[in-house]
Amino acid sequence: MERLTPRDFSEGHLRRPGTWVVAFLADWCPFCGAFRPSFESFASEPQGASFAVGDVTDEESPLWERFGIEVIPTVIVFRDGRPVFRRDGRPGEGLGAEDLSEVRSWLVS
């Protein structure tokens, strides 16, 4: 799965056309490690969207502040570069497969 870096974003926007579902994950985060297989499985389903990981492994990454990320994993849906839907992780829990159902519902609507 493609890993996006701060260079792929500009002032709160993704520099890509179309619909993208981006999971902001860090390699050191156990909740991200638990969530990633669900996200990859979700990404393998035909959704009419592209999927990527926003790499926030570096705690100094500007993506933390740029998107106001406080808990990871966090999933943001971008449409033509603009964030249009967001599901933040819950402290001490992260996100689960059930959270992706809400993302799926949003993509279909």
Task: Say which CATH number the domain at 59 has.
Answer: 3.40.30.10
- The answer to whether the peptide bond before residue 73 is cis (omega within 30 degrees of 0) is yes
Domain count, the chain: 1
Taking 80 as the threshold, does the pLDDT of residue 47 lie above it? no
Other beta carbons less than 10 A from residue 9's beta carbon: 20
Q: What is the pLDDT of residues 3-26, one digit of tens each?
A: 999 999 998 899 999 999 999 999
Q: Which domain holds residue 27?
A: 3-108
Q: What is the pLDDT of residue 109?
A: 62
Mean pLDDT of the chain: 94
* pTM > 0.85: yes
